Structure 1
Amino acid sequence: MTAPDTSITPGITVVTGVAGFLGSAVARALAAQGRTVRGVVRGSSPRANLADFPGELVEADLRDEDAVAKAMQGAGALFHVAADYRLWARDPEEIVRNNLTMTQAVMGAALKAGVGRVVYTSSVATLLPLDGAVSDENHPATPEQATGAYKRSKVVAERLVEEMVAKQGLPAVIVNPSTPIGPRDVRPTPTGRVVVEAANGKMPAYVDTGMNLVHVDDVARGHLLAEAKGKIGRRYVLGGQDVTLGQMLADIAALAGRKPPKVKLPIAPLFPIAAVAELGGMLTGKEPFVTLDSLRMARHRMFYSSARAQVELGYHARPYLEALRDAVDWFRDAGMIR
Structure 2
Amino acid sequence: MRFQNVLVTGAGGLLGGYAVAELKDRCRVSGLDLLPAEGIPHLRGSIEDADTVARACEGQDAVVHIAARPNVWSGSGREIVQTNVVGTWNVLEAAERAGVKRVVVTSSDSVIGFTVFEGAMIPPDYLPVDAAHPRRPTDPYALSKKLCEDMARSFADRGKLEVVVLRPVYVLYPEFEAEVKARAADPTGYRGPAAGGRQPAGGGPMWHYVDPRDVAVAYRCALEAADPGFGPYFICGPTTLAPEPTVERLRARTGRETDLRDPALYRVEPHAPLYDLSAAAERLGFRAAHDLRRVLYG
Q: 2 CA distance for matches of 1:225 and 1:310?
A: 10
Residue type at the aligned position of 2:213: D
Q: Which residue of 2 aligns with 1:176?
A: 167
Structure 1 unaligned residues grouped into runs of 5+: 1-6, 249-265, 268-300, 326-338
Q: Tell me the CA shift for residue 17 of structure 1.
A: 0.7
Does the 8 A contact of 1:134 with 1:303 survive in 2?
Answer: yes
Q: 2 CA distance for matches of 1:58 and 1:136?
A: 36
Q: 2:29 aligns with which of 31, 37, 52?
A: 37
Q: 1 CA distance for matches of 2:276 and 2:171?
A: 15
Q: Which residue of 2 aligns with 1:100?
A: 85
Q: 1:148 aligns with which of 122, 139, 144?
A: 139
Q: 1 CA distance for matches of 2:85 and 2:178?
A: 26
Does the 8 A contact of 2:241 with 2:293 survive in 1?
Answer: no
Q: Tell me the CA shift for residue 310 of structure 1.
A: 0.9
Q: Tell me the CA shift for residue 148 of structure 1.
A: 0.7
**1:123 and 2:114 correspond:** no
Cα-to-partner distance string for 1:201-236 (whole Å, 9 max, x where unaligned): 898714993132221111111111112214343322
Residue type at the aligned position of 2:54: A
Q: Which residue of 1 aligns with 2:97?
A: 112
Q: 2 CA distance for matches of 1:165 and 1:69?
A: 19
Structure having the larger proportion of residues in strand: 1
| Structure 1 residues 59 and 202: CA distance shift in structure 2, 3 A | farther
Q: Which residue of 2 aligns with 1:239?
A: 236
Cα-to-partner distance string for 1:133-183 (whole Å, 9 max, x where unaligned): 321212141xxx212111011001111111111135322111111222134
Q: Which residue of 2 aligns with 1:218?
A: 214
- 1:47-62 matches, within 5 Å, as 50=37, 53-62=38-47
Q: 1 CA distance for matches of 2:129 and 2:232?
A: 13
Q: 2 CA distance for matches of 1:20 and 1:196?
A: 24
| Structure 1 residues 324 and 160: CA distance shift in structure 2, 3 A | farther
Does the 8 A contact of 2:69 with 2:75 survive in 1?
Answer: no
Q: 2:278 aligns with which of 307, 324, 333?
A: 307
TM-score, scaled to structure 2 = 0.73
Q: Tell me the CA shift for residue 119 of structure 1.
A: 1.0
Secondary structure at the aligned position of 1:213 is classed as coil
Secondary structure at the aligned position of 1:237 is classed as strand
TM-score, scaled to structure 1 = 0.65
Q: 1:8 aligns with which of 2, 7, 22?
A: 2
Secondary structure at the aligned position of 1:223 is classed as helix
Secondary structure at the aligned position of 1:179 is classed as coil
**RMSD of aligned Cα (Å):** 3.1
Q: 1 CA distance for matches of 2:287 and 2:273?
A: 19
Q: Tell me the CA shift for residue 74 of structure 1.
A: 1.3
Q: 1:72 aligns with which of 41, 50, 57?
A: 57
Residue correspondences, number? 251
| Structure 1 residues 29 and 247: CA distance shift in structure 2, 3 A | farther
Higher relative contact order (CA 8 A, sep 6+): 1
Does the 8 A contact of 1:242 with 1:303 survive in 2?
Answer: no
Does the 8 A contact of 1:72 with 1:113 survive in 2?
Answer: yes
